[in-house]
Amino acid sequence: MVFKRILLVGMFLMLAGFFADGVKAADMKIGVMNVQKIIIQCEAGKEGKARFEVKMKELQGKFKQEEETLTALQKEIEKKSSAWSEETKAAKARDFQKLKREFQTKTDDARYELKQLQDKELEPILKALEGVVEKFGKSNGYTAIFDSKNGVIYFDQAIDVTDKIVTELNKSMPK
């Protein structure tokens, strides 16, 4: 999450600058948000999650038959190998290993495809979120807004602006 890192580093640098200029902590207004919660709760995040789950189920269904074939072959080898000749055992073992490698390659490709889809779904949300947080922070007089899951050890729930950010993000995202 590049956005998180940029936001965190920027906020720390900004705070360091304020402290260097002699600004007192009492003059600062700090907010905390939960980026993960925002993504899960915003409308665009819910829609993206639904599309992701549809694709995941589609891919799982695609692999179910192959997985069952592998399991059946493995059970056959376990049950019948003592009755087979060495050539038959070796041939079945080669077949099993070949099918297993092919299955592994396909599942790796599917994981990559799901990762790409996740990134595609998250990118516009994170881009919009960056602008929303900046606008929200400026318009509400915040000195800094941090992600509660990225380095904040303790905070008073009174400074949590997550729900307000979700509302603003929903307003800013195209429907």
C-alpha torsion 148→151→153→154, nearest 10: -40
Q: What percent of the chain has pLDDT over 70?
A: 85
pLDDT band at 41 (very low <50, low <70, confident <90, very high): very high
Residue 81 has pLDDT above 70, yes or no: yes
Say how many residues make up the chain: 175
Range of the domain at 157: 2-172
Q: How many domains does the chain have?
A: 1
Q: What per-residue string of b and e applies to 108-121 under the rule 16 or more CB within 10 Å gives b?
A: eebeeeeeebbeeb
Mean pLDDT of 6-24: 49
Tokens of 56: 């995941």
Distances (CA, A) of 159 to 30, 131, 153: 7, 20, 14
